[in-house]
Amino acid sequence: MSDIQSPAESTPSSDGPAQTMRALQFSEYGPPRDVIREVRIPVPAPGPDEVLVRVKAAGLNPYDWHFYRGDPYLVRLTTGLRQHRKPRVAGADFSGTVARVGANVTQFSIGDHVFGEQDQGGAVAEFVAVAAEKVAVMPQSASFEEAAAVPMGALTATAALRKSGRLESGQSVLVNGASGGVGVFAVQLARAWGATRVVGVCSGPNSELVLSLGADAVIDYTRENYWEREETFDLMVDTQHSQPLRLSLKAIRPGGTYALVGGGGGKLMGPGGPMMRALAQGIVRRHRVAGVMAKPSGADLATVAKLIDDGTVTVPIEAAYDWGDAAAAFERLESNRVSGKLVIRI
């Protein structure tokens, strides 16, 4: 991956010969510098319910490294035990312009600025084909880099707060991992959707960021245990699962909800392990325990886009990388230390 060049512009044509594009692809499992390769492959042909997007920027998520590392092994049940059954293009989140629309697509036109999540992979490429229902028009005020940084983080925060968390106006919310890709949106969306008190758990250097997003207070996890405070919360959104469920539940009022997003877990099950344990234990306790399963949704992205345009939600980006520095971007992604989001310019 060290000799990645800037991608040449390619133009899809419906009647000409098959066009090709540059993409970052993998078929083996392993570290990014070993397994992710620049390839030239055909521009995907959008199906009748899909749009083809010329990608301008790709946003990164831990989801991406789970696939190229095959870690946890649970992932390999769907992708292949020793190597990927078929090569996969890296990345899920993207922003760009619509280059072609499928026959059944009426809500988008060629040239529209859009963003979305292709959960089958494919965002770190010149073009991505994706179901139109997973796409929304970009916030007018956002750059391509900002828009690409939104989808999975904001959709997961939406699922954690509204679907799993059943957040109601006037409630209090504790976000563990508040400075991460999901946490930065959970803090802001909790506030936007009526939480009267939002507290973020993060390390000292990230406190300023989390407070700037609207948190009332932060708990520096290197100095204080969030479960030992007197204060309890209606809802805890846990993106890190840094503590066993029995401790986290101490931070939630009786009848309140614990929404487990991810983090923790071993090589076999990854976050799926703690999630299943948490769900099993939740049955016998005085709290609601919910596992968050976020899905791509253009409708939910459109809601977030409005909140970005009216200034309620901002998009914190730690760094934007050029195509040739993608390996460094993926290595940083794996650190579990990213503040906000990472983006690759396409």
Ligand X SMILES: NC(=O)c1ccc[n+]([C@@H]2O[C@H](COP(=O)([O-])OP(=O)(O)OC[C@H]3O[C@@H](n4cnc5c(N)ncnc54)[C@H](OP(=O)(O)O)[C@@H]3O)[C@@H](O)[C@H]2O)c1
Question: DSSP state, 44?
Answer: P
Contact 191, 198 (CB under 8 A): yes
Task: Report the distance separating Cα 93 and Cα 95, nearest Å.
Answer: 7
Judged by CB under 6 A, the number of residues near ligand X is 32
Site for ligand X in 171-200 (CB under 6 A): 176-177, 179-183
Task: Report the distance separating Cα 175 and Cα 186, nearest Å.
Answer: 7
339 binds ligand X (CB under 6 A): yes
User: Residue 195 CB, nearest distance to ligand X (Å)?
Assistant: 19
Pick 53 or 209: Cβ nearer ligand X: 209
Out of 25, 164, 172, 239, name the contact with ligand X by CB under 6 A.
Answer: 239
Pick 40 or 267: Cβ nearer ligand X: 267
User: Residue 291 CB, nearest distance to ligand X (Å)?
Assistant: 7
67 binds ligand X (CB under 6 A): no
Out of 171, 206, 248, 314, name the contact with ligand X by CB under 6 A.
Answer: 206
Cis peptide before 205 (omega within 30 of 0): no
Task: Report the distance separating Cα 195 and Cα 188, nearest Å.
Answer: 10
User: Residue 86 CB, nearest distance to ligand X (Å)?
Assistant: 23
H-helix or E-strand containing 273? helix 272-282
CB count in 10 Å sphere of residue 312: 15
User: Residue 46 CB, nearest distance to ligand X (Å)?
Assistant: 25
Q: Which of 323, 339, 341 is nearest to 123 (CA)?
A: 323
x/- letters, 127..166, toward ligand X (CB under 6 A): -------------------------xx--x----------
User: Residue 66 CB, nearest distance to ligand X (Å)?
Assistant: 7
213 binds ligand X (CB under 6 A): no
Backbone angles phi, psi at 91, to 5 degrees: 90, 150
Out of 154, 294, 301, 320, name the contact with ligand X by CB under 6 A.
Answer: 294
Extract the runs of DSSP E, i.e. beta strands, from 209-345. Answer: 217-220, 233-238, 252-260, 288-291, 317-321, 341-345
271 binds ligand X (CB under 6 A): yes
Pick 46 or 59: Cβ nearer ligand X: 59
x/- letters, 250..269, toward ligand X (CB under 6 A): -----------xxx------
User: Residue 16 CB, nearest distance to ligand X (Å)?
Assistant: 39
User: Residue 321 CB, nearest distance to ligand X (Å)?
Assistant: 15
Tokens of 126: 């010149």
3-class SS of residue 343:
strand
Task: Report the distance separating Cα 186 and Cα 189, nearest Å.
Answer: 5
User: Residue 1 CB, nearest distance to ligand X (Å)?
Assistant: 20
Q: Cα dist. 84→40, 65, 87, 89, 326 in Å? A: 18, 14, 6, 11, 21
Pick 103 or 293: Cβ nearer ligand X: 293
Tokens of 42: 């055909």
Contact 2, 56 (CB under 8 A): no
Task: Report the distance separating Cα 185 and Cα 153, nearest Å.
Answer: 7
Which residues are at the interface with ligand X (CB under 6 A)? 61-63, 152-153, 156, 176-177, 179-183, 201-203, 206, 221, 239-240, 242, 261-263, 271, 292-294, 336-339
